[in-house]
Chains A and B, each alone.
Chain A
Amino acid sequence: DARVTQTPRHKVTEMGQEVTMRCQPILGHNTVFWYRQTMMQGLELLAYFRNRAPLDDSGMPKDRFSAEMPDATLATLKIQPSEPRDSAVYFCASGLVQLAGTYNEQFFGPGTRLTVL
């Protein structure tokens, strides 16, 4: 039963600390997305990768957020330094884009609930 995994599931940290969230996409998927969910803003797309290359990170605060895919089995989202307003649930999703113009469903991980004090 293939699924997206995320670690950690919960993270409580203090303002100014570095936070790293990890995601293992489904094997064979070529697209990885990072989302942030809050009550106020809903689901926001932060960044996404195609074949490990970053395609768009315009939704991410560049000064403190960074996203990478060191290899096909690992995507990371880092916040440095963290701030209380970063408190949210961060989701990773993966999908398979096969043909130009054909886009299918995304498979979401369970999320990382981040609390910055």
Chain B
Amino acid sequence: SQQGEEDPQALSIQEGENATMNCSYKTSINNLQWYRQNSGRGLVHLILIRSNEREKHSGRLRVTLDTSKKSSSLLITASRAADTASYFCATVYGSSNTGKLIFGQGTTLQVKP
């Protein structure tokens, strides 16, 4: 029943490199959010992009949204070992009045020092 699907499922890079994760979804959305989960911890909200926005930045994070392709990407620039975590996209249905988040399966990112 997942709305979003992340790609790739796993990603391993060297410190300093950029990491790009993609998310595809199925139906119209109100907004799309990215969350990070460190091992054994709860999810932490990273960034939210609304359906009428195309790009958003927050520090080393850059999120794009293409509603025509029903896809989003998260770019982490100049990665650090501390960025090692799982990253999830989550969508809020546009036609829903609930605010429910539907999560994808996540991308596991490993940044090697």
Residues of chain A at the chain B interface (Cβ within 8 Å): 4, 31, 33, 42-45, 48, 50, 55-56, 91, 93, 95, 97, 100-101, 103-111
Dominant SS among interface residues on chain A: strand
Q: Does B105 contact A (CB under 8 A)?
A: yes
Q: Which of A44, A95, A107, A108 makes the CB contact (< 8 A) with B99?
A: A95
Residues of chain B at the chain A interface (Cβ within 8 Å): 1-2, 30-31, 33, 35, 41-45, 48, 88, 92, 97-106
User: Contacts A42-B2, A48-B98: A91 and B106 contacting too (C-beta < 8 A)?
Assistant: no
Q: Which of B35, B100, B106 makes the CB contact (< 8 A) with A56?
A: B100
B42 touches A108 (CB 8 A): yes
B42 touches A101 (CB 8 A): no
CB distance from B59 to the nearest CB of A (A): 16
